[in-house]
Amino acid sequence: MCERTLLIVKPDAVGKNLIGEILRRIEAKGFKIVGMKMHHLSKVEAETFYAVHKGRPFYEPLIQFMIEGPCVPVVVEGDNVIEGIRELNGTTDPAIADEGTIRKDFAENTRRNAVHASDSAESAAKEIEFFFPEYELI
Ligand code: CMP
């Protein structure tokens, strides 16, 4: 089924010049990039985006990390892309991520983990809308 998802190249990966390598892996999997920008999140924006995690012990440091520099939100389209991008990223904790995944190769730890991706069709719709008005998508 053709779907869309939101991937974010997080500030740690942007700072290490990994934008191109991460986009290359997405395209090499056969997925299509249909929207992209560079954006430095404000504190309010980061808190809104991650509101679902409010109250968790990792929430405040996560917000500080996400506002430390620019990120690159990307809308990706393809068959079963929500699951496909999550597989490409690997699990949240790089120590247990599969070989060859983005997080295994580039994440520093569970917080500074290089990428974010939507976890369901419902969150993909919300997260895409958060960063992109319809007219910015092809
Ligand atoms: P992400 O996929 O963007 O979704 C929520 C983020 O919170 C996650 O990636 C990590 O950056 C961070 N996170 C999740 N769990 C933990 C944790 N146990 N410790 C630190 N950071 C976490």
- Residue bearing tokens 């699990």: 91
Q: What pLDDT is attached to residue 114?
A: 98
| Model pLDDT for residues 78-127, shown as the tens digit of each residue | 999 999 999 999 999 999 999 999 999 999 999 999 999 999 999 999 99
β-pair type (32-36, 72-79): antiparallel
Class of CATH domain 2-133: alpha beta
Instruction: Name every protein residue with a CB atom under 6 angstroms from any ligand 1 atom.
Output: 53, 58, 62, 92, 110-111, 113, 116
- Site to probe by mutation for ligand 1, drawn from 41, 45, 58 as the one with most ligand atoms within 8 Å of Cβ, is 58
Q: Taking the domains of the chain in order of start, what are their residue ranges?
A: 2-133
| CA dist., res. 98 & res. 90, Å (int) | 6
| Model pLDDT for residues 66-81, shown as the tens digit of each residue | 999 999 999 999 999 9
